[in-house]
């Protein structure tokens, strides 16, 4: 196989069909090659006159009688440019390099056709593998394999690789000098996966399409009840798994949650049943043992990393059709897999422990503001001087002490019985002091009662900017690795700081348990709120955690599908339909709730009206009784 890879030939030709071009009959090539070329033209013939690129991969070992060369092609098509003709003697030439060059052409062309010419299954398999890895093909790219392989072998080849079976591919099998068959692999048909003969070509009758078939058939508009493998892990409230053991002993797992419901609907719309491939849980590795954890931290982290991608890795490897739980659409993830239409906007929240109450002695201080305390202190320092001034005018000596006690006592709400023979000045002084003590004392007592019964919590961190200032560590679940990469590679300074502080924990519970006022846990909003309610809320409804008001990260989110998944258009269409239906329903609901400002009805006013009626009746009775009594 190696030698084929090394000597693969690629011509990159920008071609447009010449209007109603016919091959000149008197060509120098053999009849078989001529007929093969006509067949290829008939199959690939673009209906439009748009500029189209033709990429030709040829196995140089294939016998020359079906080989196409550039000169021949140029008689049928207008070769606009170019360009790369690789030297088959260059042994270092790698097919992946060819594929990369071809991809550039595909990327810059309005439409692309790829033709692979070989009789060697190994060359074809290696092409399939490389084009998949090099991401050469998308559904819009039509691939035609031209070969003389025996039919049995061709069937096996078409079924064997993703490129031929799932992508928009057909095979042109040259049967003899004058006829060819066109085959396509249908992964989902009423009779299961199979290779069908789409058309025949003969030099006398040209292209004849079989029955109701079409060239380059649609493969994914109906799955005809096939079973499709998907991957998911429980992620409430998006994906919830419940396993029940049926009376006959078999375990039946049911899937609920918003994404699961959507998956059920999608399965119905596209007519498939889905099978959730068993993915290992994220915390499979010995996280239970705390000491083990610290000892093996780095090792465990590596293991977690590999576990993390289980769900999406199966998608990337095309074992799983789709990962059916919503994923943040991050550029780092796009390198590994594609996303469907982004049907959600997902917010990531940061969770912190609620700040605890201040020690109770501060509660005595809290009711008055700092300025008031200062003023009171000032007054308390000043008053003894005034008191001494007032009292020094009088003869009695013991009064200074008594007066001080009285002053303080009055502040604390004790009565201040005035003694005999006090001077006018001291009375005025005492009166003004009493007013002051009354006001301050009442205000303090009132506020103290309020402060003790409704304690004031210290301010919380509610914004991302505050979070950046205060937090020491950020924790995230294992799939937060992509978020960490996203943060560290971001251009935002704050995000870079967050990225450097982000650590991974095995699951949400261990993350939330570690959360404090300087350690925050990052998780998508619906999931984390549910977890707090379920695991961190006491019977009285209180809990020790809170979710910051500002969002940590807001991102579009979709479902991971393999790179260039050929069924993505069908899934996207379905998701858009769901979104449209959802917004229609929302609009109807708003209409229904409008005009809701109701007048008070008898239902509300019955009690008062009855009361009034009873009162009137009683009054009437009393009046009657009085009138009667007056007459008697």
> How many other C-beta atoms lie within 10 A of the C-beta of residue 484?
20
Concatenated DSSP letters of 216-279:
S---SS--TTEEEEEB---BTTTBEEEEEE-TTS-EEEEEESHHHHHHHHHHHHHTEEEEE---
- 3-state DSSP call for residue 346? strand
Which C-beta is closer to ligand NAG: that of 9 or that of 468?
A: 9
- Decide: 23 and 38 in contact? Cβ < 8 Å: yes
Calculated CA dihedral for residues 289, 294, 299, 304, nearest 10 degrees: 60
The correct pick among 224, 473, 513, 529 for binding ligand NAG (CB under 6 A) is 224
Please choose, out of 26-34, 220-228, 288-296, 603-611, the segment that lies near ligand NAG by the rule CB under 6 A.
220-228
578 part of the interface to ligand NAG, by CB under 6 A: no
Two structure tokens written together for 183: 């085959």
The correct pick among 222, 510, 516, 543 for binding ligand NAG (CB under 6 A) is 222
Which C-beta is closer to ligand NAG: that of 132 or that of 182?
A: 132
Which C-beta is closer to ligand NAG: that of 87 or that of 540?
A: 87
225 part of the interface to ligand NAG, by CB under 6 A: yes
State the Cα–Cα distance between residues 194 and 211, nearest whole angstrom: 17
How far apart, in Å, are the Cα atoms of 522 and each of 90, 235, 515?
A: 53, 15, 10
Contacts of 252 (CB under 8 A, 6+ apart): 243, 244, 245, 246
190 part of the interface to ligand NAG, by CB under 6 A: yes
Q: Given the structure tokens 């399409």, which residue do they identify?
A: 209
State the Cα–Cα distance between residues 62 and 68, nearest whole angstrom: 11
- Decide: 36 and 58 in contact? Cβ < 8 Å: no
Which C-beta is closer to ligand NAG: that of 225 or that of 458?
A: 225
514 part of the interface to ligand NAG, by CB under 6 A: no
458 part of the interface to ligand NAG, by CB under 6 A: no
**HSE (side-chain half, CA atoms, 13 Å) at 226:** 20
State residue 331 phi and psi, 5-degree precision.
-60, -35
Helix or strand holding residue 67 (H, E):
none
Which C-beta is closer to ligand NAG: that of 55 or that of 531?
A: 55
User: In the window 276-295, what residues touch ligand NAG (CB under 6 A)?
Assistant: 277
State the Cα–Cα distance between residues 90 and 8, nearest whole angstrom: 10
User: In the window 251-270, what residues touch ligand NAG (CB under 6 A)?
Assistant: none
State the Cα–Cα distance between residues 464 and 487, nearest whole angstrom: 14
596 part of the interface to ligand NAG, by CB under 6 A: no
Cβ burial of 70 (10 Å; 0-12, 13-18, 19+) is exposed
Q: Which residue is nearest to ligand NAG (CB)?
A: 225
Helix runs in 394-423, H state only:
399-411
Beta bridge mates, 200: 181, 208
Helix or strand holding residue 554 (H, E):
strand 553-558
In angstroms, give the least distance from the CB of 99 to ligand NAG: 11
In angstroms, give the least distance from the CB of 348 to ligand NAG: 29
State the Cα–Cα distance between residues 403 and 621, nearest whole angstrom: 66
92 part of the interface to ligand NAG, by CB under 6 A: yes
Q: Annotate each residue in 533-552 with x if it binds ligand NAG (CB under 6 A) or - if it does not, as one string.
A: --------------------
The correct pick among 45, 74, 107, 334 for binding ligand NAG (CB under 6 A) is 107
Please choose, out of 102-110, 430-438, 543-551, 553-561, the segment that lies near ligand NAG by the rule CB under 6 A.
102-110
User: In the window 47-86, what residues touch ligand NAG (CB under 6 A)?
Assistant: none
In angstroms, give the least distance from the CB of 190 to ligand NAG: 5
DSSP 475: E
Please choose, out of 90-98, 146-154, 295-303, 589-597, the segment that lies near ligand NAG by the rule CB under 6 A.
90-98
In angstroms, give the least distance from the CB of 517 to ligand NAG: 45
Please choose, out of 54-62, 219-227, 285-293, 532-540, the segment that lies near ligand NAG by the rule CB under 6 A.
219-227
Please choose, out of 87-95, 206-214, 417-425, 602-610, the segment that lies near ligand NAG by the rule CB under 6 A.
87-95
Which C-beta is closer to ligand NAG: that of 158 or that of 461?
A: 158
State the Cα–Cα distance between residues 538 and 534, nearest whole angstrom: 9
Helix or strand holding residue 269 (H, E):
helix 258-270
Please choose, out of 92-100, 139-147, 200-208, 474-482, the segment that lies near ligand NAG by the rule CB under 6 A.
92-100
Which C-beta is closer to ligand NAG: that of 212 or that of 493?
A: 212
271 part of the interface to ligand NAG, by CB under 6 A: yes
In angstroms, give the least distance from the CB of 278 to ligand NAG: 8
In angstroms, give the least distance from the CB of 488 to ligand NAG: 23
The correct pick among 97, 178, 444, 536 for binding ligand NAG (CB under 6 A) is 97
Residues touching ligand NAG: how many (CB under 6 A)? 19
Q: In 3D, which of 389, 381, 423, 384 has the Cα closest to residue 405?
A: 384
The correct pick among 160, 229, 332, 447 for binding ligand NAG (CB under 6 A) is 229
Q: CB pairs under 8 A, 24+ apart, for 586-595?
A: none
The correct pick among 16, 72, 93, 509 for binding ligand NAG (CB under 6 A) is 93
Contacts of 350 (CB under 8 A, 6+ apart): 464, 467, 474, 520, 521, 522, 547, 548, 552
Which C-beta is closer to ligand NAG: that of 246 or that of 600?
A: 246
User: In the window 143-172, what residues touch ligand NAG (CB under 6 A)?
Assistant: none
User: In the window 234-253, what residues touch ligand NAG (CB under 6 A)?
Assistant: 246, 248, 250
State the Cα–Cα distance between residues 100 and 382, nearest whole angstrom: 89
Q: Is the peptide bond before 499 cis (omega within 30 degrees of 0)?
A: no
Answer left, alpha or beta for residue 57, where phi above 0 means left and psi between -120 and 50 means alpha.
Answer: beta
Which C-beta is closer to ligand NAG: that of 277 or that of 386?
A: 277
The correct pick among 90, 254, 388, 402 for binding ligand NAG (CB under 6 A) is 90
In angstroms, give the least distance from the CB of 275 to ligand NAG: 6
**HSE (side-chain half, CA atoms, 13 Å) at 481:** 16
Footprint on this chain of ligand NAG (rule: CB under 6 A):
87, 90, 92-93, 97, 103-104, 107, 190, 222, 224-225, 229, 246, 248, 250, 271, 275, 277
């Amino acid at each position: 196989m190696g030698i084929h890879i090394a000597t693969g030939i690629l011509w990159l030709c920008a071609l447009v069909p010449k209007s109603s071009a016919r091959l000149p009959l008197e060509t120098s090539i053999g009849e078989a090659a001529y007929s093969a070329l006509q067949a290829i033209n008939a199959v690939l013939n673009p209906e439009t006159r748009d500029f189209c690129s033709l990429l030709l991969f040829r196995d140089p070992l294939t016998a020359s009688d079906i080989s196409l060369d550039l000169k021949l092609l140029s008689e049928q098509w207008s070769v606009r440019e170019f360009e790369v003709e690789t030297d088959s003697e260059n042994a270092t030439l790698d097919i992946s390099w060819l594929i990369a060059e071809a991809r550039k052409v595909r990327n810059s062309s309005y439409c692309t056709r790829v033709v692979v010419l070989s009789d060697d299954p190994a060359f074809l398999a290696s092409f399939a593998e490389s084009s998949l890895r090099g991401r050469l093909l998308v559904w819009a790219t039509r691939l035609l394999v031209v070969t003389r392989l025996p039919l049995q072998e061709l069937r096996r080849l078409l079924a064997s690789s993703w490129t031929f079976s799932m992508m928009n591919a057909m095979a042109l099998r040259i049967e003899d000098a004058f006829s060819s068959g066109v085959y396509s692999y249908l992964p989902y048909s009423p009779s299961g996966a199979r290779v069908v003969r789409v058309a025949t070509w003969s030099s006398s009758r040209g292209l004849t399409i079989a029955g109701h078939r079409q060239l380059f058939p649609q493969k994914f508009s109906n799955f005809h009840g096939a079973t499709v493998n998907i991957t998911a892990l429980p992620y409430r409230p998006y994906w919830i798994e419940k396993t029940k053991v049926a009376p006959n002993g078999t375990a039946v797992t049911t899937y609920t949650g918003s994404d699961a419901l959507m998956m059920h609907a999608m399965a119905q719309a596209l007519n498939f049943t889905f099978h959730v491939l068993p993915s290992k849980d994220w915390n499979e590795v010995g996280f239970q043992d705390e000491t083990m954890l610290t000892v093996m931290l780095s090792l465990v982290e590596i293991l977690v990393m590999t576990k993390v991608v289980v769900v999406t890795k199966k998608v990337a490897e095309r074992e799983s059709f789709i990962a059916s739980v919503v994923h943040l659409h991050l550029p780092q993830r796009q390198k590994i897999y594609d996303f469907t239409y982004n049907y959600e906007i997902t917010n990531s929240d940061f969770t912190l422990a609620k700040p605890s109450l201040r020690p109770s002695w501060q509660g005595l201080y809290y009711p008055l503001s700092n300025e008031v305390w200062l003023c009171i202190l000032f007054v308390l320092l000043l008053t003894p001087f005034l008191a001494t001034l007032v009292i020094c005018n009088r003869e009695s000596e013991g009064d200074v002490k008594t007066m001080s006690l009285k002053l303080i006592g009055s502040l604390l709400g004790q009565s201040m019985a005035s003694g005999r023979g006090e001077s006018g000045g001291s009375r005025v002084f005492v009166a003004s002091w009493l007013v002051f003590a009354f006001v301050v004392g009442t205000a303090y007592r009132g506020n103290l009662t309020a402060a003790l019964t409704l304690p004031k919590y210290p301010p919380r961190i509610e914004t991302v900017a505050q979070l950046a200032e205060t937090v020491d560590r950020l924790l995230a679940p294992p799939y937060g690795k992509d978020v960490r990469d996203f943060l560290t590679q971001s251009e935002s300074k704050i995000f870079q700081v967050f990225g450097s502080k982000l650590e991974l924990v095995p699951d949400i519970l261990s993350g939330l348990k570690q959360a404090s006022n300087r350690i925050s846990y990052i998780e998508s909003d619906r999931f984390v709120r549910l977890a707090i309610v379920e695991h961190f809320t006491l019977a009285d409804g209180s809990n020790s955690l809170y979710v910051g008001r500002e969002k940590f990260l807001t991102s579009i989110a979709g479902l991971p599908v393999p790179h260039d998944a050929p069924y993505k258009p069908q899934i996207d269409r379905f998701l858009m339909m769901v979104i449209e239906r959802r917004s229609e329903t929302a609009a109807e609901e708003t209409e229904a709730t409008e005009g809701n400002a109701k007048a008070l009805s008898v239902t509300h006013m019955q009690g008062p009206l009855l009361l009034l009626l009873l009162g009137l009746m009683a009054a009437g009775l009393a009046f009657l009784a009085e009138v009667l009594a007056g007459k008697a």
